[in-house]
Chains A and B, each alone.
Chain A
Amino acid sequence: SAVISQKPSRDICQRGTSLTIQCQVDSQVTMMFWYRQQPGQSLTLIATANQGSEATYESGFVIDKFPISRPNLTFSTLTVSNMSPEDSSIYLCSVARGIGGTEAFFGQGTRLTVV
């Protein structure tokens, strides 16, 4: 398993501002994943963050809106930029371990409300 610390756990932000979410893992990992979970729904992958290279974004997500940093093998940040109420969601970071390197372990999530 993996211990993943994510902060903040929740925040209420004004529209037009930006929020940076931090994710710290207890051991080195090659890839970290950022997901969005809208209220009552499943997880949607935003991007995959590799250390030392640009993050890979999924369809519908762009770097200008969700810039990601990955300065070392245990840490990553996701910024939600120029927020609007539609960005209100839970944001989760994750690492993959275990069988085939595909078992996901998640932080506790950041519940973001944009007003």
Chain B
Amino acid sequence: TQLLEQSPQFLSIQEGENLTVYCNSSSVFSSLQWYRQEPGEGPVLLVTVVTGGEVKKLKRLTFQFGDARKDSSLHITAAQPGDTGLYLCAGATQGAQKLVFGQGTRLTINP
């Protein structure tokens, strides 16, 4: 069974601070995605990383895929209240159509 361990599960910080969320596994993934979910909505795709060591930036969000494609991180710089939400990582293994989801990180940014 492939598992994605996501940490921390809860994070509450002040506006303007930086934070990093981690997603780790013992399995190799062909791609890994990050989603954000707000209350009353389905998860929304933020980014997909496919190459070991790949770094992608989305405004103040930086996503990195580990060299061995077993782990990933999401770093937010100067967090804002609008960043509040549930962040989910999800991995796809080679040839598989199903995604494996991490447990999620519930992020709260306080004004």
Which residues of A line the B interface, CB within 8 A?
4, 6, 9, 31, 33, 40-45, 48, 92, 94, 96, 98-109, 111
Smallest CB separation, A94 vs chain B (Å): 8
- Nearest B residue to A40, CB-CB: B106
CB pair A103 B33 closer than 8 Å: yes
Query: Does any Cβ of A come within 8 Å of B92's Cβ?
Result: yes
* Interface bin, chain B: 20 to 34
Smallest CB separation, A6 vs chain B (Å): 8
A102 to B44, CA, bound (A): 14
A44 to B106, CA, bound (A): 17
Q: Which residues of A lie under 8 Å from residue B21 when comparing CB positions?
A: none
User: Which of A41, A103, A107 is in CB contact (< 8 Å) with B48?
Assistant: A103
Which residues of B line the A interface, CB within 8 A?
6, 30-31, 33, 35, 40-45, 48, 50, 88, 90, 92, 96-99, 101-104, 106
User: Which of B43, B96, B102, B103 is in CB contact (< 8 Å) with A106?
Assistant: B43
User: Which of A6, A100, A103, A107 is in CB contact (< 8 Å) with B45?
Assistant: A103
Q: Which residues of B lie under 8 Å from residue A6 when comparing CB positions?
A: 42
- Nearest B residue to A97, CB-CB: B45
Smallest CB separation, A77 vs chain B (Å): 17
Q: Which residues of B lie under 8 Å from residue A106 when comparing CB positions?
A: 42-44
CB pair A105 B45 closer than 8 Å: yes
CB pair A42 B99 closer than 8 Å: no
User: Which of B42, B50, B102 is in CB contact (< 8 Å) with A107?
Assistant: B42
Smallest CB separation, A107 vs chain B (Å): 6
CB pair B42 A109 closer than 8 Å: yes
User: Which of A43, A99, A107 is in CB contact (< 8 Å) with B31?
Assistant: A99
If A48-B98, A104-B43 touch, whether A99 touches B103 (CB-CB below 8 Å) is no
